[in-house]
Amino acid sequence: MHVTIRRIDTELPLPKYETPGAVAFDLICRTTTTVAPKAVALLPSNVVVVVPEGFALLLNSRSSTARKRGLLVPLGIIDQDYCGQDDELLLQVLNFSDAPVTIERGERVGQALLVKIERAEWNEVTELSEPSRGGFGTTGL
């Protein structure tokens, strides 16, 4: 699949899949950024991606980001129409540690995954035939 992408700073590399089996490509931080303890920050990823029709782009952390850096990256969803000239992908991060965390320019901090999507057409009813299961967390211990 060919995907249109624009780098903000062309001195930094394009995102890449780090291994032949990787399903997501890594995103880097365009500027050195310090995230205060217990604070949320937005990290610029250096790219604008034109998400192909029929897909969504999911942003998430790399598997080691929380353990090694003390940062959580909540799931982000990039729509197909977020692709203007200045619509740089931003990774939202939460520093859950008690110390400032500095992300260096060019450091890999997140990853993105293209996912096929379908749009729902609602079929509203007044009653459902399935019994209720009991609520949040009721399927196990």
The CATH number of residue 94's host domain is: 2.70.40.10
Instruction: Yes or no: say if 80 and 101 are a contact pair by the CB < 8 Å rule.
Output: no
User: pLDDT class for 131, splitting at 50, 70, 90?
Assistant: confident
Mean predicted lDDT score pLDDT of the chain: 94
| Residue closest to 44 by CA, chosen among 98, 126, 110 | 110
Domain tally, the chain: 1
Residue with the bigger pLDDT between 139 and 38: it is 38
Specify if 31 maps to a domain. Answer: yes
Specify if 137 maps to a domain. Answer: no
Specify if 91 maps to a domain. Answer: yes
Residue 132's pLDDT is what?
78
Specify if 138 maps to a domain. Answer: no
Residue 140's pLDDT is what?
60
- DSSP letter (8 states) at residue 11: T
C-alpha to C-alpha distance for 60 and 93, rounded to whole angstroms: 10
Cβ within 8 Å of residue 115, ≥6 positions away = 55, 56, 57, 58
pTM: 0.86
User: pLDDT class for 138, splitting at 50, 70, 90?
Assistant: low
Specify if 129 maps to a domain. Answer: no
User: pLDDT class for 22, splitting at 50, 70, 90?
Assistant: very high
**pLDDT beyond 80 at 137:** no
